[in-house]
Amino acid sequence: MSMIVPAVGSGLASSGGAPTVAGIPTVSADTPPPGLAAVTFNNTTNDQPALQALLDYVKATYGGGRVVLSKPNGAGVRLNAGITIPAKVQLVSDETTLINASPFTTGAAITVNDVDFTPLVGIRMDGGLFTPVTADLTNSYTGIKVTGRGLRIENIHLQYFGRGVDLATSGTFCNTIVGGHMSHVATGFYVDLEAAGNPVAGERNMIRDFTVANSRRGFNASNGGNHLRFENVSVDFTDEVGRINNAHVYYQGHIETTDPYIFDVAGNSMLQMSDTELVLGQAVLFKTGVGPSNPGFGGARFDNCVCFFTSATGVSGTIRSEHTVSWPANTTSLTLYVPYPLKWTPVSAQFVYLDGTTVPNNDVITIGASPSATGQLNMTAPTNAAARWARIKFG
């Protein structure tokens, strides 16, 4: 959707009928209708009552509409408590005006409960959790709490929360969060339905064109069939990219980490990754000792994923799905170090011609016992390879 931000002080809330922009009832936070307080933008006054009153006014008066919170040169908006966005009311900002929610550190700064709507656009907000890198991952202090279906949230920028966006409610599905950035949070996207006591399975939510950085965990998804989909998403410098438990996660984008593992995966979990660049240092894909336990639903699949990494054994290398590697001359064995979860991922290998086609003979590459904790792949061939090429496929 296009974001319409009227000029500050434009008098949209003048008397004589519903103020509208492009036919949508709209009020500016600094020029409210008569009888309502203006938002002060001085980052000192508690603006929670004034902002909540504006949101409620638009709902009560017009049945829905838009509140514009935009004053880029102001000191910011201070909230001493959370606000709730009424159904069919949209809070629009300009991605630069700061909402300062640091005076409180429990509950949610913004709560949304609606269906088939775009309730938030252009929100920039800081919380009060200023040591998120050491925060308990169960910390429930939340930037945006979302309940509902068919919702779209655009261009949000959050930092200093226990949970950036909380989607862990039964009946919260088919929502899209597109555009934005989160940093210095304990968990970026929290969809842990099991821990939240919401047993309904099969929920699906999508994150697109987003970055989560400098945080403890990128996401947490759980419950049977819960589907969390990431498209063009970057997770940079987190202690853990994601936890997946009895859930299905599709990931496409970029990952960069130097920690021992990327994903904490357990139960009947499925990880699908495609067209993703992984920049890793001393990292393997799965946390040691855990992984998908059900070969029917659980597992990991990769397609066109490029990895630049130093393995846990200190051997540098580059490997990708459908990768062709040079077999050492006059040997019958090859050891390869990869970040893929060899214990839970199908792996195949075959000799190929230099032009990439399959060699039409009976030479067979055998994959032996390979310790998944280090990502070590041990292969043997029945005869000397004579500097031939082998194609390795994961997933």
Q: Quick one: pLDDT at residue 328?
A: 82
Q: Return the closest-CA partner of residue 221 out of 234, 236, 209, 204.
A: 204
Same domain? For 101 and 215 the reply is yes
Model's pTM, two decimal places? 0.86
CATH (domain of 93) = 2.160.20
308 lies in which domain range?
A: 89-316
**Cα–Cα distance between 6 and 117 in angstroms, integer?**
21
Same domain? For 354 and 283 the reply is no
Looking at 88, 117, 144, the residue that finishes a domain is: 88
Count the Cβ atoms, other than its own, within 10 Å of residue 35: 7
Distance of CA 193 to the CA centre of its chain: 16
- Are the C-beta atoms of 221 and 190 separated by less than 8 Å? no
Same domain? For 107 and 152 the reply is yes
- Are the C-beta atoms of 25 and 55 separated by less than 8 Å? no
**Cα–Cα distance between 351 and 368 in angstroms, integer?**
16
Looking at 88, 121, 154, the residue that finishes a domain is: 88
Same domain? For 84 and 96 the reply is no
Output the CA–CA distances (angstroms, integers) from residue 336 to 290, 319, 327, 339, 367, in the order listed: 22, 9, 10, 10, 11
Same domain? For 276 and 334 the reply is no
Q: What is the pLDDT of residues 89-107, one digit of tens each?
A: 999 999 999 999 999 999 9
Same domain? For 229 and 343 the reply is no
Same domain? For 111 and 174 the reply is yes
Q: Quick one: pLDDT at residue 245?
A: 87
Tokens standing for residue 49: 């009552």
Looking at 260, 289, 316, the residue that finishes a domain is: 316
> pLDDT truncated to tens, each residue of the chain (395 aa)?
344 443 333 334 333 455 878 889 999 999 999 999 999 999 999 999 999 999 999 999 999 999 999 998 889 999 999 999 999 999 999 999 999 999 999 999 999 999 999 999 999 999 998 776 667 888 999 999 999 999 999 999 999 999 999 999 888 999 999 999 999 999 999 999 888 776 666 688 999 999 999 999 999 998 866 889 999 999 998 888 999 988 889 999 999 887 777 888 877 788 889 999 888 776 677 776 665 555 555 677 888 888 877 655 545 566 767 778 888 888 888 888 777 666 667 788 888 876 555 555 567 888 887 766 566 788 898 777 777 788 888 77
Q: Count of alpha carbons within 13 Å of 100, Cβ hemisphere only?
A: 16
Sequence-distant (6+) residues with CB within 8 A of 334 are: 325, 327, 328, 378, 379, 380, 381, 385, 390
Same domain? For 93 and 81 the reply is no
Per the structure, how many domains does the chain have?
Answer: 3
Same domain? For 386 and 246 the reply is no
Same domain? For 156 and 263 the reply is yes
Tokens standing for residue 76: 């910011």
Same domain? For 109 and 182 the reply is yes
Q: Return the closest-CA partner of residue 282 out of 337, 322, 336.
A: 337
- Are the C-beta atoms of 279 and 253 separated by less than 8 Å? no
Same domain? For 292 and 309 the reply is yes
Q: What is the pLDDT of residues 59-78, one digit of tens each?
A: 999 999 999 999 988 899 99
**Cα–Cα distance between 135 and 162 in angstroms, integer?**
7
Residue 132, judged by CB atoms within 10 A of its CB (0-12, 13-18, 19+), counts as buried
Q: Return the closest-CA partner of residue 178 out of 230, 126, 253.
A: 230
